[in-house]
């Protein structure tokens, strides 16, 4: 059976490995239509100003530096003030997920399903409400679809999308830029990453018969 509805989830996390920013997009892979979407800063993490995830001892201009984590926190406040995010309790996210399951029974997935699922579970987000599985993970599916694609490998070579070992990257950022063309780097905000980067990847994977 070919699954029609996918709920693509993306999370940004805190230093204590909980979800700070939750995003989800319900997409019809048959038509490409986005049926619903959600972007929420979790109340507990937002109110307590929990440290966003950062990597120790990287240069201060690195995206994942401690300095930039503080700037990202300021950006989060700006997004709330501009109406681009609302602050919500985990229970409200779970209610929204339950509504999607009741209406569409979608496959739950993410670009890195194992990572996002574990962080959601730690945060009380009922990620197991929907059907899911490693075979629907967008990252694993992308590796099958793109790492044997000569055009994608050439694209990564030209753009410098390489792993430390010198092989082509298979990140959501690299794959989405290959598919769409003129696209800035992922902002690492949950809803935007899911909607603008991972949905196009899922649609292409469906076109190639991988998911």
What's the burial of 102, exposed, middle or buried (CB within 10 Å: 0-12/13-18/19+)?
exposed
Q: Residue 31: is its pLDDT beyond 80?
A: yes
Taking the whole predicted model, whether its pTM rises above 0.85 is answered as yes
| pLDDT (tens digit per residue) in 39-87 | 999 998 887 888 999 999 999 999 999 999 999 999 999 999 999 999 9
Cα 192 to Cα 69: distance, rounded to the nearest angstrom: 18
List, in sequence order, every residue forming a beta bridge with 87; answer none if it has no partner.
41
Q: Residue 126: is its pLDDT beyond 80?
A: yes
Domain assignments of the chain as residue spans, ordered by start: 5-207
pLDDT bin (cut points 50, 70, 90) of residue 182 is confident
- pLDDT for res 43: 92
Domain 5-207, second-level architecture: 2-Layer Sandwich (3.30)
| 196 contact partners, CB below 8 Å, separation of at least 6 | 176, 183
């Amino acid at each position: 059976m070919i699954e029609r509805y996918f709920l693509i989830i993306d999370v940004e996390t805190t230093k204590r490995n909980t979800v700070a920013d939750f995003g989800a997009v319900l997409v019809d892979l048959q038509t490409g239509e986005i049926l619903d979407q959600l972007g929420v800063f979790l109340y507990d993490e937002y109110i307590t100003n929990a440290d966003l995830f950062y990597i120790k001892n990287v240069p201060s201009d690195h995206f994942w530096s401690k300095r930039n984590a503080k700037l990202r926190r300021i950006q989060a406040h700006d997004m709330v003030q501009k109406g681009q995010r609302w602050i919500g309790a985990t229970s409200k996210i779970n209610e929204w997920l339950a509504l999607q399951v009741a209406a569409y029974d979608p496959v739950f997935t993410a670009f890195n399903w194992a990572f996002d699922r574990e962080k959601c579970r730690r945060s009380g987000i009922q990620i197991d409400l929907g059907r899911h599985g490693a075979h629907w993970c967008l990252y694993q599916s992308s590796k099958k679809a793109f790492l044997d694609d000569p055009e994608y490998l050439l694209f990564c070579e030209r753009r410098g999308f390489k792993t430390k070992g010198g092989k082509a990257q298979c990140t959501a950022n690299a794959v989405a830029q290959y598919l769409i063309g003129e696209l800035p780097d992922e902002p690492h905000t949950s809803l935007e990453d899911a909607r603008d980067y991972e949905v196009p990847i899922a649609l292409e994977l469906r076109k190639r018969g991988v998911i």
